[in-house]
Amino acid sequence: MFGTDLPSTRARRPYHPADLELICETLGEKLAGKVLYQNAADWYLKR
């Protein structure tokens, strides 16, 4: 499950939309969707 406090003021550099694009390009649409949304949604809905 992916968690973040972005946009963070403690990061060495500010968040950029390309950061999210990199995750999607690296994992592919289906896995990125699971990491960034679906896994957490499933976990909360099953509680």
Q: Return d(Cα 24, Cα 43) in angstroms, integer.
A: 21
Per-residue pLDDT at 5 exceeds 80: no
pLDDT of residue 6: 62
More confident site: 39 or 2: 39
Q: When comparing pLDDT for 14 and 33, which is higher? A: 33
Q: Are 23 and 36 in contact (CB under 8 A)?
A: yes
